[in-house]
Amino acid sequence: MRRYSAFAIAREAARYHSGWGKAWSSPEPKKKYDVIIVGAGGHGLATAFYLGRNFGITNVAVIEKGWLGGGNTGRNTTIIRSNYLQDPSAAIYEKSRSLYETMSQDLNYNVMFSPRGVMMLAQTQAEVRGYLRTAQANALQGVSTRFIQPAEVKKLVPIINLDGPRYPVLGALWQDRAGTARHDAVAWGYARACSDMGMDIIQQCEVTAVRREGGRVVGVDTTKGAIDCDKLGIVVAGNSGVMAERAGFRLPIESVALQALVSEPIKPCMDVVVMANTVHGYMSQSDKGEMVIGGGADGFNNYTQRGSFHHIEETVRALVETFPMVSRLKMLRQWGGIVDMTGDRSPILSKTPVEGVFINGGWGTGGFKATPGSGWAMAELMAKGHSPLTDEFSMWRFKEGKFIDESVAAGVAH
């Protein structure tokens, strides 16, 4: 792999950019791998990356039915934060956030991590109490957050309207080390690093069945033929239920559409991320100047990667109340992704009823922030059979009543 650097840019500029080469190779599948990962989203690629980096397991294939990063990884609004309530969540999300800090260096790929700060507005008394509690919990977990007053909110976000007619801003939970990153670059950076370690990334190839012998995985059937493996990681987000069925078990996950939209680019007007959970909308400004906007998930099971228009209307209405100046903005694009929702709004990183098959899913509306931490933990789980970061996220926790309830912290989709 040729390293990217300022020197490389100068070198290539001098020869008309003729020497860059492909960032990753696209080989035909081999007959057998030690590990197959289904799904080349950020989480699947990060899992493969850390299998190689942390455990020296490089005879790995990542199999993707579409193009890599074309699922929720390329459809999300890129918010990265770790201000969750429960300890197991804080552990994995904070691990993840901290890995983002050095990701560009680790991958030699600019993922544009921008720790600009994330603000979650409190617009009801219940929310004030909720975020005060979260701030206390975060202090105990070693996650740096604090509750700020309306005056400080206004100072950080001059375009905000504090005295909204229905839901005035009463304060906010502020995490100054949170922020955003370039979602595609995260997938591309991992793909390049995995390819460099000798792993095969096989795109345009759907896994159609999981072959088992005596309760153990022995391989998969794909649209490019049968491939054997010793271990299988299912990392397919909205398609978790479909893949689990192909492997012969059921998951406590339901799939629904979540939408987002971006405006025309405008001059810099907001340099933090603002989330308004009560009125259901959140917004940040991309480096190109577009306002990146998201809201709540749609209300019924759906695999179509598009959502209902009235959800967009609700989101935009909420944001116009919160940021009156956006009322004149034209919207450029709108899209949907299929998110995998669990009952307690926390993910599943777990062994499964099939020996050798592992599942990583249920990240729902908020897994982009978790990409590196999830890959780190999943790789450990697959290599060693257990990881301190995944122990609490087993698929059987629901049966035992051991929920990791994040429905408050994740009251709105992000």
Partner 1 sequence: MLILHCPYCGVMADETELHGGGEAHLTRHGPGSSDEDFHDYLFAKENPRGVHFERWRHVQGCGKWFHAARDTATLEVFGTYPAQTTEPPKAIRKAITAKRPGWTWRGFSDPAK
Ligand X SMILES: Cc1cc2nc3c(=O)[nH]c(=O)nc-3n(C[C@H](O)[C@H](O)[C@H](O)COP(=O)(O)OP(=O)(O)OC[C@H]3O[C@@H](n4cnc5c(N)ncnc54)[C@H](O)[C@@H]3O)c2cc1C
Binding site for partner 1 (CB under 8 A): 239, 241-242, 250-255, 299-304, 308-310, 343, 398-399
The reply to whether 83 sits near ligand X by the rule CB under 6 A is no
Smallest distance, Å, CB 16 to ligand X?
34
Asked if residues 115 and 176 have their Cβ atoms less than 8 Å apart, the reply is yes
The reply to whether 239 sits near ligand X by the rule CB under 6 A is yes
Smallest distance, Å, CB 111 to partner 1?
31
How many residues form the binding site for ligand X (CB under 6 A)? 40
- Contact of residue 363 among partner 1, ligand X, none (CB under 5-8 Å per partner type): ligand X
Residue 216: how many CB atoms within 10 A of its CB? 12
Q: Considering only residues 171, 241, 281, 294, which one is a binding residue for ligand X as defined by CB under 6 A? A: 294
- Contact of residue 366 among ligand X, partner 1, none (CB under 5-8 Å per partner type): ligand X
> Which residues, numbered 171-230, are part of the site for ligand X (CB under 6 A)?
206-207
Whose Cβ is closer to partner 1: residue 200's or residue 254's? 254
Smallest distance, Å, CB 15 to ligand X?
35
- Contact of residue 252 among partner 1, ligand X, none (CB under 5-8 Å per partner type): partner 1
The reply to whether 397 sits near ligand X by the rule CB under 6 A is no
Smallest distance, Å, CB 316 to partner 1?
15
> Which residues, numbered 50-69, are part of the site for ligand X (CB under 6 A)?
63-66
- Contact of residue 310 among partner 1, ligand X, none (CB under 5-8 Å per partner type): partner 1
- Contact of residue 368 among ligand X, partner 1, none (CB under 5-8 Å per partner type): ligand X
Smallest distance, Å, CB 157 to ligand X?
18
Smallest distance, Å, CB 46 to ligand X?
8
The reply to whether 272 sits near ligand X by the rule CB under 6 A is no
**Can you tell me the distance from the alpha carbon of 320 to that of 310, in angstroms, rounded to the nearest whole number?**
15
| Most distant pair of Cα atoms in the chain: their distance | 64
The reply to whether 378 sits near ligand X by the rule CB under 6 A is no
Smallest distance, Å, CB 388 to partner 1?
25
> Which residues, numbered 336-355, are part of the site for ligand X (CB under 6 A)?
337, 339
The 10 Å CB-count burial string (b at 16+, else e) for 287-303 is eeebbbbbbbbbeeebe
**Can you tell me the distance from the alpha carbon of 124 to that of 129, in angstroms, rounded to the nearest whole number?**
9
Residues within the interface to ligand X (CB under 6 A): 38-44, 63-66, 70-73, 75-79, 206-207, 235-237, 239, 243, 258-260, 294, 337, 339, 363, 365-369, 414
